[in-house]
Amino acid sequence: MATVEETTPLSTYLQTFSALFVRLQTRSERGAALLEYALLVSLIAVVCIASVSYFGQSISYQASEIGSAINN
Protein backbone atom coordinates (compact mmCIF):
# COMPACT_ATOMS: atom_id res chain seq x y z
CA MET A 1 0.00 0.00 0.00
CA ALA A 2 1.30 3.44 -0.95
CA THR A 3 2.04 5.95 1.73
CA VAL A 4 1.93 9.74 1.51
CA GLU A 5 5.72 9.92 1.24
CA GLU A 6 5.71 7.66 -1.83
CA THR A 7 3.05 9.64 -3.73
CA THR A 8 4.41 13.12 -2.95
CA PRO A 9 7.25 13.08 -5.53
CA LEU A 10 4.84 11.94 -8.24
CA SER A 11 2.28 14.63 -7.43
CA THR A 12 5.04 17.24 -7.27
CA TYR A 13 6.30 16.07 -10.65
CA LEU A 14 2.81 16.27 -12.15
CA GLN A 15 2.23 19.75 -10.73
CA THR A 16 5.58 20.95 -12.08
CA PHE A 17 4.95 19.38 -15.47
CA SER A 18 1.46 20.85 -15.77
CA ALA A 19 2.70 24.32 -14.74
CA LEU A 20 5.47 24.13 -17.33
CA PHE A 21 3.05 22.96 -20.00
CA VAL A 22 0.66 25.83 -19.28
CA ARG A 23 3.52 28.34 -19.36
CA LEU A 24 4.80 27.04 -22.70
CA GLN A 25 1.29 27.05 -24.19
CA THR A 26 0.85 30.67 -23.14
CA ARG A 27 4.13 31.67 -24.74
CA SER A 28 3.36 29.96 -28.03
CA GLU A 29 -0.11 31.53 -28.14
CA ARG A 30 1.39 34.97 -27.49
CA GLY A 31 3.87 34.42 -30.31
CA ALA A 32 1.09 33.28 -32.63
CA ALA A 33 -1.01 36.32 -31.75
CA LEU A 34 1.96 38.60 -32.42
CA LEU A 35 2.48 36.95 -35.80
CA GLU A 36 -1.20 37.34 -36.67
CA TYR A 37 -1.10 41.04 -35.79
CA ALA A 38 2.05 41.53 -37.85
CA LEU A 39 0.43 39.85 -40.85
CA LEU A 40 -2.70 41.95 -40.41
CA VAL A 41 -0.73 45.20 -40.24
CA SER A 42 1.28 44.25 -43.34
CA LEU A 43 -1.90 43.40 -45.25
CA ILE A 44 -3.41 46.76 -44.31
CA ALA A 45 -0.21 48.52 -45.43
CA VAL A 46 -0.26 46.72 -48.79
CA VAL A 47 -3.92 47.66 -49.33
CA CYS A 48 -3.20 51.30 -48.46
CA ILE A 49 -0.22 51.48 -50.82
CA ALA A 50 -2.16 49.83 -53.62
CA SER A 51 -5.14 52.16 -53.20
CA VAL A 52 -2.94 55.27 -53.15
CA SER A 53 -1.14 54.04 -56.25
CA TYR A 54 -4.40 53.29 -58.03
CA PHE A 55 -6.40 56.36 -57.00
CA GLY A 56 -3.49 58.79 -56.51
CA GLN A 57 -3.64 60.53 -59.89
CA SER A 58 -7.41 60.86 -59.80
CA ILE A 59 -7.38 62.35 -56.32
CA SER A 60 -4.54 64.71 -57.24
CA TYR A 61 -6.46 65.93 -60.29
CA GLN A 62 -9.63 66.48 -58.27
CA ALA A 63 -7.70 68.37 -55.57
CA SER A 64 -6.20 70.63 -58.26
CA GLU A 65 -9.63 71.31 -59.71
CA ILE A 66 -11.03 72.20 -56.27
CA GLY A 67 -8.04 74.46 -55.57
CA SER A 68 -8.50 76.22 -58.92
CA ALA A 69 -12.20 76.72 -58.25
CA ILE A 70 -11.49 78.25 -54.85
CA ASN A 71 -8.90 80.67 -56.29
CA ASN A 72 -11.31 81.91 -58.97
Residues in the chain, pLDDT under 50: 1-2, 4-5
What is the C-alpha separation between 57 and 65, in angstroms, rounded? 12
Predicted confidence at residue 22, as pLDDT, reads: 73
Predicted confidence at residue 40, as pLDDT, reads: 92
Predicted confidence at residue 32, as pLDDT, reads: 73
Predicted confidence at residue 23, as pLDDT, reads: 75
Predicted confidence at residue 71, as pLDDT, reads: 83
Predicted confidence at residue 51, as pLDDT, reads: 87
What is the C-alpha separation between 48 and 53, in angstroms, rounded? 9
What is the C-alpha separation between 10 and 15, in angstroms, rounded? 9
**Domains of the chain by residue range:** 44-72
φ/ψ (deg, to 5) at 37: -65, -40
